[in-house]
A = this chain, B = another copy of it.
Amino acid sequence: MTDQICRVSAEEFQAILDEGVTFANWWGFQTESLSYGRFTLRQPVRKDHQRPGGIVGGPVLFGLADSALYGLVMTVAGPVKMAITTDMSIRFLRPAGLRDTDLLAEARLIKAGKRLVIGEVAIRHEDEEDPVCHATGTYSIPPK
């Protein structure tokens, strides 16, 4: 897989977020790294991402995971901004504290079909190995 060409650039992905994903700004995503079948998205956590217990809310983590998969899909299918999630299964493993360290969502390809791309994502604090969240999801790529 590693010798296949990444079909989107960080700039193209960022432009798609800037132009069409109006909520990306609220989340505060930044592309960390990408290659064919791999995509890492970084997110600083802010006070307004919080839920009771002083931890990051599940919806905030879902948005991060889903957006990392969105980027992953583009590494194999190109800048298909109309790709949409068909389903996601997400597991919250331990509380994600509201700390100074960013969250990293590391997405990895499970299957690249012509119309469906399936991947998994693990989210962790930048300075920790154990994930706080794990998700698998399917994206549907619209016909051209």
Binding site for B on A (CB under 8 A): 16, 19-23, 25-27, 47-53, 57-60, 62-63, 66-67, 81-82, 84-95, 110-111, 116, 118, 120, 122, 130-131, 134, 136, 138
Contacts and interface: CB of A to CB of B under 8 A. Distances in A.
A47 to B, nearest CB: 6
Nearest to A111: B93
Contact of A20 (B52, B85, B91, B110): B52
- Copies of this chain, how many? 4
A118 B27 CA distance: 28
A18 to B, nearest CB: 11
30 contacts: A20-B51, A20-B53, A22-B47, A22-B50, A25-B48, A27-B59, A58-B84, A59-B63, A59-B66, A62-B63, A62-B88, A84-B95, A86-B91, A86-B116, A86-B138, A87-B87, A87-B91, A88-B88, A88-B89, A89-B89, A90-B90, A91-B136, A93-B110, A93-B111, A94-B111, A110-B122, A110-B131, A111-B134, A120-B134, A134-B136
